[in-house]
């Protein structure tokens, strides 16, 4: 199960796992983009992670065809970079609802069943901004620090049930996330860094890292992974 799978890192994760032979449940608000990926053994659902019932319906559709969810990749997210005092408070709500509530909704939907089966893996996509807050990352960085905190908490409780919780923190990555940056000053700073790194890392490297971590024995939990371009010094 991969959220935010219509583009960028999420779409690349879908391609990599499909190539490895896994059946897929793909979620995104743009369902047409999921179908355009053209991947076999795939259930595509136009679902909004902010809406718990929408998530549950998608999971039911996927499990009806492929059985229980063994892997959740919580990838859906937006950036909305800006200074807190310059930012429209409605953007705070978007960041919190997608980057925090969306993660919680999906974890809550699959975790009890994973614990009951004593098998499963949750991969939460965070950010290097979840480790250090950079300029214009005021609220966005806060949401990603939350992802780290909740992952740590759930990991500790899930371990006794043989369920793995992993956190992946990509640096600047070639994806569509820049389209969610609406503040001109924030975009100028971010794009300058991106250009210096020739666009950042390719999303396929993030996807391959997740595949590697998932394919480790269930008794091995690669708890945290950070990936950046070599040119990214932070």
Is 134 among the residues known to form the active site?
Answer: no
DSSP structure class, residue 99: I
203's CB contacts (< 8 A; 6+ apart) are: 8, 9, 11, 12, 173, 174, 175
What angle, rounded to 10 degrees, do the helices at 8-19 and 203-215 form?
50
Catalytic residue among 22, 140, 214, 234: 140
**CA–CA dist 219, 48 (Å, integer):** 32
For residue 176, how far is the Cα from the chain centroid? 13
Query: Is the Cβ–Cβ distance between 218 and 162 less than 8 Å?
Result: yes
Active-site annotation, residues: 140
């Amino acid at each position: 199960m991969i959220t935010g799978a219509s583009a960028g890192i999420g779409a690349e994760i879908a391609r990599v796992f499909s190539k490895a032979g896994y059946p897929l449940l793909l979620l995104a608000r743009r369902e047409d983009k999921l179908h355009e990926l053209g991947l076999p053994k795939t259930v595509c659902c136009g679902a909004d992670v902010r809406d718990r019932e929408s998530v549950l319906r998608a999971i039911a559709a996927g499990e009806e065809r492929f059985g229980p969810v063994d892997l959740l990749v919580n990838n859906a997210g937006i950036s909305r970079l800006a200074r807190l005092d310059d930012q429209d408070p409605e953007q705070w709500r978007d960041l919190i609802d997608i980057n925090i509530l969306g993660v919680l909704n999906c974890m809550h939907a699959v975790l009890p069943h994973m614990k009951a089966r004593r098998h499963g893996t949750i991969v939460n996509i965070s950010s290097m901004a979840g480790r250090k807050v950079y300029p214009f990352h005021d609220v966005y960085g806060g949401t990603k620090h939350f992802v780290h905190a909740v992952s740590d908490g759930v990991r500790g409780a899930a371990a006794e049930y043989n369920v793995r919780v992993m956190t992946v923190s990509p640096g600047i990555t070639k994806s569509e996330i820049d389209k969610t940056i609406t503040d001109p000053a924030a975009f100028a700073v971010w794009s300058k860094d991106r250009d210096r790194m020739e666009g950042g890392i390719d999303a396929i490297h993030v996807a391959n890292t997740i595949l590697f971590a998932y394919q480790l024995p269930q008794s091995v939990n690669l708890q945290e992974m950070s990936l950046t371009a070599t040119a990214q010094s932070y």
